[in-house]
């Protein structure tokens, strides 16, 4: 055995072939790709403009019934991840439409799901025996393994943005799903019960606090928006984020969901954020405002109800034309729990 | 050395005397008292009825100025702990009055303090650069080592119940206090800032969460009362507690203060609670309602703005004549953190 | 009502008398004492020298049987807290002697207990079905509410230092005690089981980790001493502490017991520590070495098997003549959990 | 808009095409695959027998120098995941060989790495300024973002099993890597320092405990093996696991690494485990013993130094011929932190 002289390439090829027969491979030929110096994210920046896609969303109502579809959702697929149903490598997003009189049947799954309401008023989500009526800007969650269904008893279609950790759970081989015997689960608690129980600065006296997902499942826009407005009076704006709040589980102050972090931020008219990048690819949407986001060389112009995505570890900044409220979500809780999250702030140039 | 025959008593006396000279003592003579089979609490049940004490409280305004007193408070002293300024062994309670135009000067201390507003409207508490205006039923805290002062800019006297962990901190030899150079601390944030920042189901995105005390320092009665009313519609009442919520720190879901647990509970008209006892002696007050509490052989009749105390490990039950909202506080967080808390539920007899 | 002119003193006396009749008292007359600017600890520095007390300890074996005494312990009572059986305000300490053939009967209590073995070899402590044989310098715990008994099957008396949170648990009115039906509890696990299960860097795969006390109940001096020696080779000595380790619960890295913090530290020959003070009054003992501790104006000379106490918030330093290994305990976990702990380091002058 | 009649298939095709142009896709066509009823793991059971691969491992020493390779590792690639360098979907494993006199140069990366020593004695791993000498059965970790290098100063080749979370970190786009300027990092602490500081039931008094990875980086087989032997004397064997311990971080009792859970288990001669399955695909190796594992229809015969993998959610059981000590690792900490872990125990049939 003499390591002094490396083997001729031809010998290596034969050796590699014999390795392959034993399900082995030489690390040194692939190490650079496996352990890169910094993230080389595969997703691309992308935007789905409401004006562009609204008709297609509405048309889905003609194409398939809610009953047949189980969930009538148009997946927002990252153009760089074609065929994967992913908007980032670990997250899924879609636009769901539910028509008057329809029900999206009750089921439960290991995946965490969020809804950010874009259009319409008065449809409901039922979670674990309680209904909540939804309005634009509301942030609604359906925690892992809880029965949930949606229904529209208003006389308008309703559309919301869905966000799920479907790719992550698939990657971990840890997903289970079950259908409820009926379309609708029984309602056992009055509307507003969860918010009263957990959302007013108090908790049930004997609550055990062991759940990893928020028991509050609707964070009404009315309250969140008012909080942002109050804080904006301070004028203490973060250069990268403006005024930015994170939705939390009141039982432990952690993110509202175990795998998906969600934020709401106010950017005043004329504000330009300082450059920022982080290891969590992020999906943005907004219910009011207008502006643009510059990601490396790309420029995404956005307005109300648009959805766009910023890849991991890519410098970006927002430029605001009209006061905007941006909702965003990413896998940051996963990265933080695993000790992997990194972020970097740049200098504001203008 | 022969342990077979115990020493005559006379020998023991001499031995004990020699021990005493070395600052030693025989454990076996005191062990029963030091390590009892179950708690033998020294505090007694007691009540301070608003109608009884109201005049004395108001009279304090003639006796001493707020400036001279620093805090114009009448200590509620447990009759079984005379001379100690304690309402239970580890807690202090008092009635504080502040007259129109007065200021209770700014200071800070290691002790945690709570206020439960009994009478008057419009005085403020300032904590760490922010003011909150107080109304009856509001639960207000001044966290350890934060500057705080009170002022009354209304045209009526205001009275609240003070609760502090003064005896506990003294027992632990861990108390520090400092006066602010001026009577009033500077106000740097708009009213409502803390509640917007922490009290709406969201937290500041970069918040570090390391504090052990709630950054929300006013829990308005309006919100708490509404939450109780919503939950009471469920009709799921705990036999011992009715509908009962605990005030929490939204940053971690823990008690609002590190050493004092605080609760608000709704007891419907005609409700009688099942017998209950726990190792935390508890101070109760109420802003609305009427009823009585039976503690062992004693019966305490109470109404709005009364304050009463239930000793540790004493069976008690509440009997409600008019729908009542009880505020209560105890050292339960201390006992839970140290693994000492015990409780026991009895059978409802009627 | 006119606060401008304070009431004459005579009026105040009458007012105070009327307050007293209602179990009330004026805070402003006692506030300075209740809320001091900094701790005014009541315990005093004190030392119990082994040479001074050894004969009295041995004599206890003639005075009373282990059976009659239940625990044959000489309480070390702080001279400033006479009659309280306390060595500090919240802690108890004593010297326990057990003679060959004796058993200290099995019981359990809410109080946490520690043993630091001073003299003798071969007696055992049994905890929860497992025995451990004890040697000088071993740190042994009996967690709250676990059955424990001691026995001496060697042919020499054994003496150890007991430390308990008896005053703290009494102050909180939270103590329970129960005697086991027999003197000895049944032994169900082989000696060394706990250490193998929890003390080798591994934990049982399904362990739930909910206990707040270490499942390892003997920390053998052999291992602890060797660890200190290894670390001392680094020569990275803390100016205030030399080389200092804290005994931990391997299940969560917290203190070994919920209420009592315990430490072992190595001070090399000739070392003088920098001045230090903290809010936790501390009891020291040592199994080897010789030196002195200067506490304010007092000087305590110590050697092997001595026990001494440093009051809270008192500046002190150690001066070492022979390499010393100091064991110490205090209520620091309590203060840390409640957010009350403070410490201060001074400049080394020599 | 009429949802009553679903669109003809031909219309759907056109619609889908138009969706595709906007980077959208119909969820209902892929939902079953994205959200399966239970995990459909893609990895397959596989084994790498030491006898089969030993020559190829040794031959690697002729094929490439350690210097050229940076890490001379043969990747164990799951046959069902060809081309991905993965042994399970989220984990990487390989066999690393280092020859006498060689150094595997110092670098650091976001990925967590473990080593389980299979063959040879006396090479070292250096982590963060400290070296540890390795022996067969030792479990060695190199925490995320710590400098680490390996060297062989013995006169024999050394081979160990490498396990890393490379695929997981890649999936999360969160990997960084840096090379140290020199091959070897400077050594600043004596060998054994970490173990003395953290591994004997004590922790440095001022340790902050914030790291999410164990500061002990070698868990010597000698200690682990002895712990298993002690516990096996209890005869309390888990039907599915025999005697099984998990390697932990002594600072918090959590897994030794944030993303990879590691276990060591003793299975006595003749023992057959009860059927078990869990959502974490698991890699096994062993340093002593002989037996087989039945996974669904497959049977893997194993002996010392073999490596094999059990896919997620697949029933399996071990049948032991000679007393065996199995080392194993999986992504269980990830699944537990995210609330995704599930397991199921079956009935023992024989």
E strands, A53-191, are: 73-76, 92-98, 103-109, 113-119, 123-127, 130-133, 139-142, 148-152, 158-164, 177-179
* Mean pLDDT, range C103-124, rounded to an integer: 97
- Do the beta carbons of residue A172 and residue B202 sit within 8 Å? no
Per-chain mean pLDDT for chain A: 94
Instruction: Tell me which residue in D22, D75, D92 faces A52 most closely, judged by beta carbons.
Output: D22
Q: Which of D138, D202, D267 would you mutate first to test chain C, the one with the most C CBs within 10 A?
A: D202
Q: What is the pLDDT of residue B349?
A: 63
Report the distance separating Cα B326 and Cα B291, nearest Å: 11
Residues whose CB is less than 8 angstroms from the CB of residue A259 and which lie 6 or more positions away in sequence, other chains included: A112, A165, A168, A169, A331, A333, A334, D338
Distance from CA of C317 to the nearest CA of D (A): 17
Size of interface C-D (CB pairs under 8 A): 119
pLDDT for A208: 77
Question: Which chains pack against B, by 3+ Cβ pairs within 8 A?
Answer: A, C
Render the burial of D264-289: b for 16+ CB within 10 Å, e for the rest: bbbbeeebbbbbbbbbbbbbbbbbbb
Percent of chain B exceeding pLDDT 70 equals 96
Q: What are phi and psi of A260, to 5 degrees?
A: -125, 125
Per CB-CB distance under 8 Å, the chain A contacts of B192 are: 230
pTM score: 0.95
pLDDT at D84 over 90: yes
pLDDT in tens, B79-117: 999 999 999 999 999 999 999 999 999 999 999 999 999
The whole-angstrom distance between D158's CA and the closest CA on chain A is 14
User: Is B335 within 8 Å of chain C by CB?
Assistant: yes
- Mean pLDDT confidence for A292-309: 97
Q: How many CB atoms lie within 10 A of CB D349?
A: 8
For residue D3, pLDDT beyond 60? no
pLDDT reading at A1 higher than 50: no
Distance CA A208, CA C216 (A): 27
Q: How far apart are CA B152 and CA B97, in angstroms?
A: 10
pLDDT band at B202 (very low <50, low <70, confident <90, very high): very high
Distance separating alpha carbons of residues C168 and D243, to the nearest angstrom? 40
Looking at chain D, which subunits does it touch, using at least 3 CB pairs closer than 8 Å as the criterion? A, C
Check: CB of residue D258 under 8 Å from CB of residue D248: no
Cα distance between residue A28 and residue D96, in whole Å: 11
The more confident residue out of D211 and A18 is A18
Q: Three-class SS string for D218-255?
A: EECHHHHHHHHHHHHCCCCCECCCEEEEEEECCCCCCE
Rounded Cα gap, residues D22 and B287, in angstroms? 60
A183, A101 Cβ separation under 8 angstroms: no
Q: Would the pLDDT of B155 be above 50? A: yes
Nearby residues of D154 by Cβ (< 8 Å), 6 or more positions away: D100, D120, D121, D122, D123
Asked if D233 is an interface residue toward chain C (Cβ–Cβ < 8 A), one would say yes
Residues of chain B with Cβ-Cβ distance to A190 below 8 Å are 230, 233-234
Q: Residue holding tokens 């997946």?
A: A75
Tell me the helices (H) and strands (E) count for chain C, helix number first.
8, 22
- Hey, what are D218's tokens? 């070698």
Which candidate in B173, B258, B312 is best for mutational testing of the C interface (most C CBs within 10 A)? B173
Cβ atoms of residues D209 and D252 within 8 Å? yes
Task: Map residue C241 onto helix, strand or coil.
Answer: coil
Distance, CA of D44 to CA of D80 (rounded, Å): 6
Partner residue facing C203 (CB), from D199, D201, D245: D245
The arithmetic mean of pLDDT across residues D147-159, rounded, is: 96
pLDDT tens, residue by residue, D242-260: 999 999 999 999 999 999 9
Least CA distance to B156: which residue of chain C?
A: C1
A333 sits in which H/E element: helix A332-337
Distance from CA of D57 to the nearest CA of C (A): 31
Cβ-Cβ contacts under 8 Å, C250 against chain D: 201, 248, 250, 253
Q: The tokens of A330 are what?
A: 């990413």
Contact D79 A23 (CB under 8 A): yes
Nearest CA to D65 out of A9, A5, A26, A16 is that of A5
Q: What is the mean pLDDT of residues C161-181?
A: 97
Question: What is residue B36's DSSP assignment?
Answer: -
Direct distance between the N- and C-terminal alpha carbons of chain B, in angstroms, rounded to an integer: 63
Output the CA torsion D27→A112→A224→A279 (10° steps). -90
Q: What percent of chain C has pLDDT over 70?
A: 96
- Give per-residue burial for A264-276: e unless 16+ CB within 10 Å, then b: bbbbeeebbbbbb
Of B280, B277, B284, nearest to B263 by C-alpha is B284
CA nearest to A116, candidates A238, A268, A224:
A224
Residue D15: other Cβ atoms inside 10 A: 18
D74 interfacial to chain C (CB closer than 8 Å): no
Look at A350 and D180; give whichever has higher pLDDT: D180
**In the predicted structure, residue B3 carries a pLDDT above the cut 50:** no
Tell me what the pLDDT averaged over chain B comes to. 94
pLDDT of residue D5: 61
Residue D118, pLDDT > 90, answer yes
Contacts with A192 from chain B: Cβ below 8 Å? 230
Token digits of residue D147:
């400098």
Report CA-CA distances (Å) from C58 to A16, C52, C55, C166, C287: 78, 12, 5, 24, 18
Which of D197, D205, D252 has the CB atom closest to C263's CB atom? D205
Q: What is the pLDDT of residue D2?
A: 46
Length of chain A: 350
CA end-to-end span of chain C? 63
Angstrom distance (rounded) from CA C202 to CA D214: 12
C204 shares contact with chain D (CB less than 8 Å): yes
**Tokens representing residue A12 in the block:** 């290596």
Of D196, D246, D247, D333, which to mutate for an interface test with C (greatest number of C Cβ within 10 Å)? D196
- Positive or negative, the CA dihedral D292, D294, D297, D298 is negative
Say which of A193, A246, A250 has its CB closest to residue B205: A246
With H, G, I as helix, E, B as strand and everything else as coil, classify residue D155. coil
Complex ipTM tops 0.90 = yes
Distances (CA, A) of C124 to A313, C54, C134, C219, D218: 60, 21, 6, 13, 32
- Distance from C-alpha of A314 to C-alpha of A191, rounded to nearest angstrom: 42
3-state secondary structure (DSSP) of residue D21: helix
Query: Where is pLDDT greater, at D137 or C6?
Result: D137
Which residues are C345's β-sheet partners?
C276
Task: Find all residues with CB under 8 Å of C92, minimum gap 6, and list them.
Answer: B34, C75, C85, C86, C162, C163, C164, C165, C166, C167
Counting residues of chain A whose pLDDT is more than 90, the rounded percentage is 91
C224 in Cβ contact with C137 (< 8 Å)? yes
- Show residues of chain C in contact with D249, CB under 8 Å: 253
pLDDT at B210: 75
Beta carbons of A27 and D64 less than 8 Å apart: no
For residue B279, give the nearest of B339, B349, B224, B239 by alpha carbon.
Answer: B339
What's the pLDDT tens digit per position in C77-101? 999 999 999 999 999 999 999 999 9
Q: CA-to-CA distance for B323 and B265, rounded, in angstroms?
A: 11
The span from the CA of C301 to the CA of C295, in Å, is 11
Over residues B58-75, mean pLDDT:
94
Residues of D in contact with C238 (CB under 8 A): 205-206
| Residue A55 CB coordination number (10 Å) | 10
**A315 near A296, Cβ under 8 Å?**
yes
- Shortest CB distance from D253 goes to which of C199, C209, C246? C209
Q: Which of C7, C62, C110 sits opposite B340 (nearest CB)?
A: C110
Which residues from chain C sit within 8 angstroms of residue D264, using beta carbons?
202
Asked if A232 is an interface residue toward chain B (Cβ–Cβ < 8 A), one would say no
pLDDT at C3: 47
Cα dist from B337 to C341, D259, D273, whole Å: 15, 29, 40
For chain C, what is the mean pLDDT? 94
pLDDT, average across residues B271-281: 97
Which pLDDT does position B75 carry in this prediction?
A: 98
Number of H helices, E strands in chain D: 8, 22
Residue A73: beta bridge partners? A96
- Which region, left, alpha or beta, applies to residue A288 given φ > 0 means left and ψ of -120 to 50 means alpha? beta
Give pLDDT tens digits for D299-317. Answer: 999 999 999 999 999 999 9
* Structural element, H or E, at residue B325: strand B316-330
pLDDT confidence bin for D1, thresholds 50/70/90: very low
Q: What is the DSSP string of D277-343?
A: EESS-EEEEEEEEEEEEEETTEEEEEETT-EEEE-TT--EEEEEEEEEEEEEEESHHHHHHTT---E
Q: Are strands A158-164 and A113-119 parallel, antiparallel or unpaired?
A: antiparallel
> For a pLDDT cut of 90, what percent of chain C falls above it?
91
The residue in chain C having the minimum alpha-carbon distance to the alpha carbon of residue D242 is C205
Quick check: D119 pLDDT over 70?
A: yes
Rounded to whole angstroms, how far apart are CA atoms B245 and B336?
17
**The predicted structure's pLDDT at residue B206:** 81
Inter-chain CB pairs, B–C, below 8 Å: 284
Asked whether the beta carbons of residue B24 and residue C170 sit closer than 8 angstroms, the reply is no
The CA angle A138-A143-A146, to the nearest 5 degrees, is: 120
Q: How much is the average pLDDT of A55-63?
A: 95
Answer whether C27 sits within 8 Å of B71, measured CB to CB: yes
Q: What is the per-residue pLDDT across C211-248, written as a single tens digit (0 to 9) for each?
A: 899 999 999 999 999 999 999 988 789 999 999 999 99
Q: Is C223 on the interface with B (CB under 8 A)?
A: no
**What is the model's pLDDT at position B41?**
85
DSSP conformation class of B28: G
Contact yes or no for D328/D266 (Cβ under 8 A): no
Q: Is A182 exposed, middle or buried (0-12, 13-18, 19+ CB in 10 A)?
A: exposed
Is D245 close to C199, i.e. CB distance below 8 A? no
Interchain proximity C205–D241, CB inside 8 Å: yes
- CA-based diameter of chain C, in Å? 81
pLDDT value at position B9? 63
């Amino acid at each position: 055995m003499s390591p002094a002289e490396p083997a001729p390439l031809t010998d290596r090829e034969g050796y590699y072939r014999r390795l392959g027969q034993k399900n082995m491979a030489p690390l040194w030929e692939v190490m650079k790709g496996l352990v890169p110096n910094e993230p080389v994210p595969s997703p691309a920046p992308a935007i789905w403009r409401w004006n562009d896609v609204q008709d297609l969303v509405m048309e889905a109502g003609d194409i398939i019934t809610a009953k047949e579809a189980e969930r009538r959702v148009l997946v927002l697929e990252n153009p760089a991840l074609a065929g994967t149903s992913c908007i980032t490598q670990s997250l899924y997003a879609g636009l769901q439409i539910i028509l008057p009189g329809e029900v999206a049947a009750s089921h439960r799954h290991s995946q965490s799901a969020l809804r950010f309401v874009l259009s319409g008023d008065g449809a409901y989500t039922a979670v674990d025996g309680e209904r909540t009526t939804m309005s634009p800007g509301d942030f609604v969650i359906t925690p892992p393994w809880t029965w949930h269904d949606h229904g529209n008893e208003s006389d308008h279609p309703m559309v919301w943005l869905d966000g799920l950790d479907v790719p992550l759970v698939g990657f971990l081989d840890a997903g289970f799903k079950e259908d409820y015997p009926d379309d609708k689960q029984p309602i056992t608690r009055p509307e507003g019960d969860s918010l009263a129980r957990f959302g007013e600065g108090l908790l049930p006296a004997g609550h055990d606090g062991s759940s990893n997902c928020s028991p509050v499942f609707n964070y009404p826009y009315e309250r969140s928006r008012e909080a942002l407005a109050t804080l904006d009076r301070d004028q203490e704006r973060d250069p990268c984020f403006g005024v930015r709040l994170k939705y939390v589980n009141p039982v432990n102050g952690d993110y509202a969901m175990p795998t998906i972090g969600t934020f709401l931020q106010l950017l005043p008219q004329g504000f330009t954020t300082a450059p920022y990048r982080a290891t969590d690819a992020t999906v943005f949407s907004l219910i009011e405002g207008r502006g643009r986001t510059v990601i490396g060389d790309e420029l995404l112009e956005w307005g109300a109800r648009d959805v766009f995505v910023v890849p991991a570890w890519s410098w970006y900044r927002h430029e605001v034309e009209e006061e905007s409220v941006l909702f965003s979500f990413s896998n940051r809780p996963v990265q933080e729990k695993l000790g992997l999250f990194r972020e970097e702030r740049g200098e504001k140039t203008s």
